[in-house]
Every structure is written in C-alpha cells, then in structure tokens.
Amino acid sequence: MVSSAPRLRFVDRVNPVTRLAALVVLTTPLLLTVDWLSAAVALGIELVLFALAGVTPKLLVARTWPILVSAPIAGLSMLLYGQPEGTEYWSLWLARITDGSIELAVAVTVRVLAIGLPAALLFLRVDPTELADGLAQIAHLPARFVLGALGATRLVGLFVEDWRAMGLSRRARGIGDHGVIRRVATMAFALLVLAIRRGSKLATAMEARGFGSDTPRTWARVSTVGGSDAALLAIAAAVAALSIAVAVWAGTFNPVWS
C-alpha cells in the first residue's frame, strides 16, 4: 500500500504524528459550524495546497473516490429531508426540497469533502512502522501498546490469505452452495479462531525477542519533528482560522450549538 502511493512534496517530510495533529487542528473548527462558506473556503485552499504538493486530479480521484461518492450522497439526504425553510420547490411524502434544505445540502457536501480529503491525502504514504515510532517517541504513548498494535498490522496480510483459502475450502467441503451470508458468518468465526492463534504465536515470537521485559527500551529508528512539522501545523491552523473568519465576516457562520 505504502510503496504504491506516489510521493508528495513537503507532506512526506512531516512526521506522521504531526500529520495527525494537523488534521485535528484543521478539521475540528469545521465540525463546529454548519455553513457552506467556511467549508468551501477550506476546501478551496486545501485543493490548491495539495495540488502544489503534487496531487494530480487523477491521483485525487483514484485515492479519494469513496469520499467523492459519499459526499453528494450525504448532501442528497439533506436536500430531501433537511430542516425545511423558505420556498418549497418540490415535495413527496416526507421529502421536501426547500431553500433551507438546498443550502444545508451544499453545506454538508462541501464539509464532508473539506474534512475527508485532507484525512485521506495526508495519509497517502504513511508507513505503519513510522507512525508507531512517532506515536511512541513523539506522542509518548506506551511502547508496549504501540508495538503490539504494530505487530498486529503485519498479520492483516496473512488474514487476507487465510480468508481466500477458507473460501476455497468451503467449496471443497461441499458447503459452498450456501447463501453468502451464512458462508461469510461461518468463515468470519473461523478467521477469528485463526487470528487468535496467529496472535498468540506472534506474541511468543515477540516475547522471545525480549519484548515486554522491564528493561528500558531503545529505539533503532529516530522519530523526529522539525521545521516542516511546525509549518504544517501553522498551515492547518491558518486554513481553519481563515475559513471561520470568512464565514463570520460574511454572516453565514452557523455554530452547531446555536
């Protein structure tokens, strides 16, 4: 996954933990207001910045299509069922399209994009090992927890193989004609059993390498933060501040608590 993602300018130099922090800084203010303008401003700036970092339209579609598809769907539900307000254009039973619901639909669509796109694009190329190093060394999360989780991520690839083999074996055992739901349910249970066994084997292997002892641990890879990290946080804060400021100035600011 990591190796197939294209390199991005600037973003790749930032510690994964900082990227996580920047995402929180950028999107939290956007979650506090429901108006189309703040989200639109943020989205516009984000698109320009990511384009500068090397995200081509093709890459954007390839890597974020689930978000590009789900945003309008979220908007559509608002269009039909959002709080009615102003002129009504069309109605059918509970569904009503009004001035208010149109505005809400636009606001929600743009907001999902403004929050979802940076979440996907900032983590295009995150190496789990690097993220774990950052979480343990920079964010000072407990090493045991972080490394345990990191070890587990490597098992995911094995589970994919297990799942495939189990699917074939169901057919070989004469129970492949059952409905999909029933088959998936029995396979999910079997996978769970396998996962626990693989997990305990991995735990033994990790323990055999001294994991979980009381000795203070060293880190073979240094996780550092520097100028690029500060810059990304500053950019995230600036984008958030600017988009909220524009909304307040234009009078569209509509906090969720109002």
Partner 1 sequence: MSGSTSAVGPVRVEARGWGWRHAGRLRWALDGIDLRIAPGERVLLLGPSGSGKSSLLHALAGVHGGDDEGEERGSLLIDGARAGGARGRAGLVLQDPDSQVILARVGDDVAFGCENLGVPRDETWQRVAEALDAVGLDLPLDHPTSALSGGQKQRLALAGALAMRPGLLLLDEPTANLDPSGVAEVRAAVARVLDRTGATFVVVEHRVDVWVDLVDRVVALGSDGRLLADGPPDEVLERHREALLAAGVWVPGAPLPIERRADAAGSRSAQAILVGEQLAVGRRRGAVVRAGLDVALAEGCSTVLTGPNGVGKSTLALTLGGLLEPLGGRVAASAPLAGRLVPEPIRWRSRDLLTRIGTVFQEPEHQFVASTVRAEVAVAPHALRLSGAEGSARADEVLTRLRLDHLAGANPFTLSGGEQRRLSVAAVLVARPRVIILDEPTFGQDRATWLELVRLLRELVDDGVTLLAVTHDAAFGEVLGDRRLDLVASDDAAASAPTGSAQ
Residues that bind partner 1 (CB under 8 A): 3, 127-129, 150-151, 154, 157-158, 162, 164-166, 168-177, 186, 190, 193-194, 197-198, 201-213, 215-222
Nearer to partner 1, 86 or 167 (CB): 167
Is residue 99 within 8 A of residue 85, CB to CB? The reply is: yes
Sequence-ordered list of residues with C-beta below 8 angstroms from that of 77, at least 6 positions apart, any chain: none
CB atoms within 10 A of CB 73: 10
Nearer to partner 1, 9 or 217 (CB): 217
- Name the minimum Å distance from CB 202 to partner 1: 6
User: Strand runs (DSSP E) across 49-165, as ranges?
Assistant: 88-92, 95-98
Nearer to partner 1, 58 or 173 (CB): 173
Nearer to partner 1, 192 or 238 (CB): 192
The gap from C-alpha 214 to its chain's centroid, in whole angstroms, comes to 35
**What one-character-per-residue DSSP string does 146-191 give?**
HHHHHHHHHHHHHHHHHHHHHHHHHHHTT-TTS-HHHHHHHHHHHH
- Name the minimum Å distance from CB 252 to partner 1: 46
Residue 249, judged by CB atoms within 10 A of its CB (0-12, 13-18, 19+), counts as exposed
- Name the minimum Å distance from CB 177 to partner 1: 5
Nearer to partner 1, 95 or 168 (CB): 168
- Name the minimum Å distance from CB 18 to partner 1: 21
- Name the minimum Å distance from CB 125 to partner 1: 14
Nearer to partner 1, 13 or 198 (CB): 198
- Name the minimum Å distance from CB 11 to partner 1: 20
* Closest CA relative to residue 32, chosen from 190, 251, 255, 220: 255
